Amino acid sequence: MLNKKSVDDINVNGKRVLCRCDFNVPLDGDRITDETRLVAALPTIKKLIADGGKVILCSHLGKPKGPDATFSLAPVAKRLSELLGQEVKFAADDTVVGDNARAAVADMKNGDVILLENTRFRPEETKNGEAFSKDLASICDVFVNDAFGTAHRSHASNVGISEAMKAEGKQAAAGYLLEKEIKFLGNAVDSPKHPFVAILGGAKVSDKIGVINHLLGKADKVIVGGGMTYTFYAAKGIKIGNSLVEKDKIELAKEIMEKAGDKLVLPVDNVCAKEFNNDAPSEVVEGDIPDGYMALDIGPKSVELFEDTLKDAKTVVWNGPMGVFEMSNFAKGTLEVGKFLGTLSDATTIVGGGDSTAAVQQLGVADKLTHISTGGGASLEYLEGKTLPGIAAVSDK
């Protein structure tokens, strides 16, 4: 378990608490199109309010190179006010911690909440720059890191500030969301109930190689689907037509297959088309993919094989779609796998963020799964067995 200070270990009554959240939500103009990350942050914020803290929230949003109104967090303050049922004052400030933000903090009473401007308005943020870390540390008495989605990055608003706080003899604690993510991902990987089955999909072997290697050492079966399948096919000598392939990873795929033996489960049939287009006529093909065709989804026999592999599982970790799920005609494999996971009532089922999260939400089975991670890159790095700097920087218990 996480041997780090948590929000339950600190006293925030009457104190200024800076809480780093992950409010990096998709926006359509001013409208938040997916508020999963806001909802996921509420338990920690509510706890800090209930304990009488002066709650100063901060986050990044998108990738602005400096102050840029299109990346302002103002819409998040508005929606958070509604979700919390109390005002979340927005401290507009191009330098994030300038005069306006400092005045807003000075005005706070116990239980008040304010939100600072996008931390990426400061160029030092992504460089873990000391000046910004110190600015942030200067407006708070306690720091809480609840941003799992950025825990794999060493930035000023998670790592730099934690170091600055500790250097000043102040505390940096982990929020509930951070704890929850680590509890589920950590238990699944480090002390899973067996059988433990990992499902890995998505476009590229090169993106997932670290996860495949790490999980091959932990899981009983590793199911591979999606675009990276065809690099494995090429390594096995199965014809792949025009399917996605990373030619420079074919040797690596061979090595993985040798190491994995029958642990690795590949699709046995695929939905193929002549064009990368939702309206392209498609057919299910077993084995060799004919010239001129590309595989865009796994076929029904593969779904059956995967379900059979998963049916007795007690722990399942899933990252990456089984096909081009953004196109409705090639989404079935991903959706069927998601649906089947929802029926495994006896298993801990974890979705590791990114596109597979979008898929289970689209399908409406998200609430039947045990845990949907809020972090794409962070959960991948965690599943690779890496230490996440944002978590490592928090004060030890």
**Cα dist from 352 to 11, 59, 357, 360, 381, whole Å:** 32, 21, 7, 11, 10
Q: Is 355 in the site for ligand AMP (CB under 6 A)?
A: yes
- β-bridge mates for residue 270, sequence order: 285, 298
Q: Is 295 in the site for ligand AMP (CB under 6 A)?
A: yes
CB 160 within 8 A of CB 131: no
Q: Is 296 in the site for ligand AMP (CB under 6 A)?
A: yes
- The secondary structure of residue 160, as a DSSP letter, is I
CB of 332 to ligand AMP, least distance (A): 12
What does the block give as tokens for 320?
């990456």
377 a catalytic residue: yes
Q: How many residues bind ligand AMP (CB under 6 A)?
A: 16
Residue spans of alpha helices (H) in 243-331: 250-260, 300-310
204 a catalytic residue: yes
306 to 335: interface string for ligand AMP, x by CB under 6 A: --------------xx-xx-x---------
Specify the pairing of strand 269-273 against strand 282-286.
antiparallel
Whichever of 6 and 243 has its CB closer to ligand AMP, that residue is: 243
Which residue of 53, 175, 192, 226 would you call a contact of ligand AMP, by CB under 6 A? 226
Cβ within 8 Å of residue 184, ≥6 positions away: 348, 350, 370, 371, 373
Q: Is 227 in the site for ligand AMP (CB under 6 A)?
A: yes
Binding region for ligand AMP (CB under 6 A) out of 128-136, 168-176, 197-205, 305-313: 197-205
Q: Is 199 in the site for ligand AMP (CB under 6 A)?
A: no
Residue whose CB is nearest to ligand AMP in the complex, by number: 202
What does the block give as tokens for 209?
């190689």
Q: Is 244 in the site for ligand AMP (CB under 6 A)?
A: yes
217 a catalytic residue: no
Tokens 């065709």 sit at which residue? 293
301 a catalytic residue: no
What does the block give as tokens for 60?
């990044």
Give the H or E element holding residue 265. strand 264-265
Query: What residue type is assigned to position 149 of the chain?
Result: G
Q: Is 207 in the site for ligand AMP (CB under 6 A)?
A: yes
Which residue of 27, 108, 203, 366 would you call a contact of ligand AMP, by CB under 6 A? 203
Catalytic residue, chosen from 102, 183, 204, 339, is 204
CA–CA distance, 164 with 136 (Å, rounded to integer): 9
Catalytic residue, chosen from 98, 342, 377, 385, is 377
Chain residues in the site for ligand AMP (CB under 6 A): 202-204, 207, 226-227, 244, 295-296, 320-321, 323-324, 326, 354-355
Active site residues: 37, 204, 354, 377
